[in-house]
Amino acid sequence: MIDVKKPLFNAFLKGRTAIVNGNSEKRKEAVDEIKTQWEKLIAANVVHYINSTLTDMESDDKFSKWHHWSEAKAFHTCLAYNDDKSISDSDWQDINNLLGSSPKQVKQSDLEDANQKLKQVFNFSNSQMSNL
């Protein structure tokens, strides 16, 4: 599991305190921390839904596969819209290509490769990857 609750909450508190105190430098630091934690949370959701899609493929549950694949694709798309994102444009595109354009065409090996790329980019541990 990837727990961003406490760091995210603390960053919001830090930002609010900076706003009250008129400290624009600390406010910017808080905003940067919030963006980083939010991006990590979104990436964890991509992994979670890829894992669910892989499980659906094993059980041949087409309806769940479509649902989980579309969630993975949607959360992945969100990663492109952070101007200060950790993921490079080329890594984002690689993962997008691995996810494909349809759950009908996606392969198990491509989803596993997408997970490995996310693991590398966001420094997720093996335990975190398997528990998402």
With a CB cutoff of 8 Å and minimum separation 6, the contacts of 75 are: 42, 43, 45, 46, 49
pLDDT of residue 19: 97
Give the pLDDT confidence of 34-88 residue by residue, as tens digits: 999 999 999 999 999 999 999 999 998 999 999 999 999 999 999 999 888 999 9
Average pLDDT over residues 92-97: 98
pLDDT of residue 39: 95
Axis-axis angle for helices 89-99, 108-122 (nearest 10): 160
pLDDT of residue 83: 87
DSSP state, residue 128 = H
64: phi then psi, degrees, rounded to nearest 5: -65, -40
Tokens (6 digits) for 98: 């691995």
pLDDT of residue 3: 86
Give the pLDDT confidence of 105-122 residue by residue, as tens digits: 999 999 999 999 999 999
